[in-house]
Amino acid sequence: MTEHQEPTPSTEPVTPAEAPAAQASPAQDPAARIAELEAALQEMKDKWMRSEAEMANLRARTKREVEDARLYAVQKFAKDVVEAAENLKRGIDSLPKRQEGEAEIVTKMREGFEGIERSFLSLLERNGITRHDPTGSTFDANMHQAMAEQETSEHPPGTILQAWTQTWQLHGRLLRPGMVVVGKLPAPSGPSVKIDETA
């Protein structure tokens, strides 16, 4: 052997007792470990369910917004069309009432305008625009606009006695409220005063 011969590394296995203390971990109770894993699993399940619920809400909201946009995108145009329908009705109402022996030109004009109105209303209905006559129904602030009140003893208070314009809706949503005259109770008459003529 030479004087500077290097020592050969030992090939003997390291026993557990010789392992560094930092790598040694105390044995964990199996029941505690199971409880810890179950708690982690429940937490992940709760997060997943909340995420699924949020996604379902988002899908429903998006679908509703797209549907509303499709149904009500023409709302401004529909209001203008309704105004034209109201003007057509006013024109028909301004014609003389039917009577025996009226001029044939008046009869044909009235029938022509009425046919145009029927066709126009049918076209509006096919596109979701509907007209309702509120006369005789109970006043509803969500659907009607009270323009005047009129005393009546023949109808309950709040009954619509006259409609100046019709109520219009677009796919069930109010487009234009009906302008109406609403009935109210007659004012109570004052007590009669007797005059003592013997004084």
Instruction: Give the confidence band of 31 by pLDDT, cuts at 50, 70, 90.
Output: confident
pTM (whole model) above 0.85: no
Would you call 125 exposed, middle or buried from its count of C-beta atoms within 10 A (0-12, 13-18, 19+)? exposed
pLDDT in tens, 94-107: 888 888 888 888 88
Higher local confidence (pLDDT), 132 or 6: 132
Residue 165, class by beta-carbon neighbours within 10 Å (0-12 exposed, 13-18 middle, 19+ buried)?
Answer: buried
- Laid out side by side, the sheet with 129-132 consists of 129-132, 167-170, 173-176
Q: pLDDT tens for residues 72-97?
A: 778 888 989 999 999 999 888 888 88
Beta strands 173-176 and 144-151 are unpaired
Higher pLDDT, 66 or 8: 66
The two tokens of residue 176 are: 């234009």
Helix (H, G, I), strand (E, B) or coil at 138: strand
- The 10s digit of each residue's pLDDT in 154-193 is 999 999 999 999 999 998 899 999 999 999 988 776 555 5
How confident is residue 11, by pLDDT bands cut at 50, 70 and 90? low
Distance CA 154, CA 18 (A): 108
Which amino acid, one-letter code, is at 80?
Answer: D
CATH 2.30.22.10 describes domain 74-184: yes
Q: How sure is the predictor about 21, in pLDDT bands with cuts at 50, 70 and 90?
A: very low
Q: What share of the chain is helix, strand, coil (3-state, %, to 5)?
A: 45, 15, 40
Exposure string of 129-138, with b = 16+ CB inside 10 Å and e = fewer, is bbbeebeebe
For the chain, the structural domain boundaries read 74-184
Is 24 a residue whose pLDDT tops 50? no
- 171/23: higher pLDDT: 171
